[in-house]
Amino acid sequence: MSDAAARARNIKLVIFDVDGVLTDGRLIMGDDGLEYKAFNTQDGLGMKLLKASGVDMAIITGRTSNVVTKRAESTGIGHFYQGVEDKLEAFHDLLAQTGLQPEQCAFMGDDVVDLPPMRRCGLALTVPEAHHLVKEHAHFVATRPAGRGAVREACEFIMQAQGTYDAQMAQYLR
């Protein structure tokens, strides 16, 4: 078993950044002043399957957006931080709220602002387009692009390491 898989076995909470992880990182601004984001349905199902397998989820993001709130609600995200300047502070607050230890948490980020919690959690996940320093500190780098399956790949990796993947897939194979 790889080091990343061994780490994944202990994960009880996965924390996601939004822009560049749950999305492809582009910010689309309309003439109406609204911000638009595109999310991947396969990523969404992966998150729901992970939640169904017993792993909780959170979002810690630097931006604030109503569409992110709606996405969090639709995917069963239990803990949600928007407009965060210090992601490590939010990470510590999340630990205090949940009673979890850092090694029981995974963090999936893509840029240097994500490094403080990534370096302290039990499993650091990232996307192929991530900043080189983020990839150097990640235990797992997805092969699918950000906003186009990377989150699904990370969710399935954790479920496989925890032995819950087959049970989650069985419902679709009957």
Q: Which of 119, 65, 55 is nearest to 87 (CA)?
A: 119
| Tokens describing residue 101 | 């230890």
DSSP letter for each residue of 77-94: --EEE-S-S-HHHHHHHH
Distance, in Å, from the CA atom of 173 to the CA atom of 113, rounded to the nearest integer, reads 41
Question: CA dihedral defined by 99, 104, 147, 143, rounded to 10 degrees?
Answer: 180
Give the annotated binding-site residues: 17, 19, 110
Q: Which residue from 123, 125, 149 is spatially nearest to 46, judged by alpha carbons?
A: 149
Binding site for Mg(2+), by residue number, is 17, 110
C-beta separation of 57 from 48 below 8 A? no
- Three-state secondary structure call for residue 28: strand
- Residue numbers in the known binding site for substrate are 19
